[in-house]
A = this chain, B = another copy of it.
Amino acid sequence: MAKPPHSIPDSELDVLKVLWDRGRATVREVLQTLREAGHVGNKDGKPWSYATVATLLDRLETKKVVESDRADQAFTYRPIVSVKDVQRRRVESLVDKLYQGEPGLLVLHLLKSHPLDPHQAEEVRALLEEMREEPASKPPEDAPRSPSDPSP
């Protein structure tokens, strides 16, 4: 049991993203960062309160998504799951639920309905060429499931 199947709701994801960005932060730092970034938390467009951020970090910690250590006087939190882990899980779930478990269908849908800029299009083409030759290549990307490895 590497990963408890806890889900990471949107609000928690917002604070988690801050941690991913800066590596680690205290409650107040997260709050500050979000405000500067013009984060719109609650439905009234009012920014979150300190308590809200604290709660979210707390919940993330009980879910084993972040860790805290008592540095100065304030706790400092840092993520213990990587962006990629979360992305993978979300994508997999989306593919399972709406694309019959076929990632290819999602790719097609994306290309058709969401224009991608030429640079990225080129990158995609290149990647495909590469894969054509070496079909079974597994960049460490797809390891069988390590609990997480944001900073090993």
Contact = CB atoms under 8 A, between A and B. Distances in A.
Contacts of A111: 107, 124, 127-128, 131
Interface string A113-152: 1111110110111011001100110010110000000000
Chain copies in complex: 2
Given A108-B123, A109-B87, A124-B108, A103 B114 contact: yes
Given A13-B97, A90-B98, A94-B94, A121 B113 contact: no
A128 B124 contact: yes
A88 interface: yes
A95 interface: yes
Contacts of A135: 115, 118
Given A83-B98, A94-B94, A128-B111, A117 B104 contact: yes
Nearest to A13: B97
A102 interface: yes
A40 to B, nearest CB: 13
Interface of A: 10, 13, 83-84, 86-88, 90-92, 94-95, 97-99, 102-118, 120-121, 123-125, 127-128, 131-132, 135-136, 139, 141-142
